[in-house]
């Protein structure tokens, strides 16, 4: 395995692990902790997801650079493209809506719940599956 391939495998599985740990473990559990109000949970979530998304963008850039720099099987490129597209949609289309809604809640508004959260979670599932597929395919090359 080349150095580029090894780095791509490592980054892929670290990225997948971060998504699984934060999106599917930390995020739902924080609201079950004693004395964590909706406002506190949202404040923590905003910080955690801002950090996660920053790292995800860095990982996506590393992977894109390595994939673009050498011959990569199409099926691996497609899996990474799906993961990166899901991240882009989250950051460009969904996160701004979630931020507006959390701003309203933090300001004390009790308006209707946003469905953007469900879209974000759906994209997290897509991203996680795409990263898992890409990682497995990388290990078989």
pLDDT digits (tens, 9 = 90+) for 21-74: 999 999 889 888 899 988 889 889 999 999 999 999 999 999 999 999 989 999
Given a cut of 90, whether residue 128 has pLDDT beyond it is yes
The rounded distance, in Å, linking the Cα atoms of 36 and 31 is 6
Nearest CA to 60 among 33, 40, 90, 39? 90
Average model confidence (pLDDT) for the chain? 93
Q: Which domain holds residue 90?
A: 3-140
Given a cut of 80, whether residue 110 has pLDDT beyond it is no
- What is the model's pLDDT at position 125? 98
- What is the model's pLDDT at position 138? 95
| Residue 141 exposure: Cα atoms within 13 Å on the Cβ side | 20
Structural domain total, the chain: 1
Given a cut of 80, whether residue 111 has pLDDT beyond it is no
Nearest CA to 67 among 137, 20, 132? 137
The rounded distance, in Å, linking the Cα atoms of 90 and 95 is 6
Query: 121 burial class (0-12, 13-18, 19+ CB within 10 angstroms)?
Result: middle
């Amino acid at each position: 395995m080349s150095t580029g391939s090894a780095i791509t495998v490592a980054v892929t599985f670290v990225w997948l692990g971060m998504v699984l740990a934060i999106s599917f473990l930390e995020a739902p559990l924080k609201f079950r902790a004693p004395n964590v109000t909706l406002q506190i949970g949202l404040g923590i979530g905003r910080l955690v997801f801002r950090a996660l998304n920053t790292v995800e963008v860095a990982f996506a850039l590393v992977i894109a650079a390595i994939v673009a720099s050498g011959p990569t099987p199409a099926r691996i490129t497609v899996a990474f493209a799906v993961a990166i597209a899901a991240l882009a949609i989250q950051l460009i289309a969904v996160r701004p809506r979630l931020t507006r809604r959390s701003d309203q809640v933090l300001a004390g508004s009790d308006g209707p719940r946003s469905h953007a959260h469900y879209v974000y979670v759906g994209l997290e599932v897509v991203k996680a599956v795409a990263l898992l597929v890409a990682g497995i395919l990388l290990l078989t090359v």
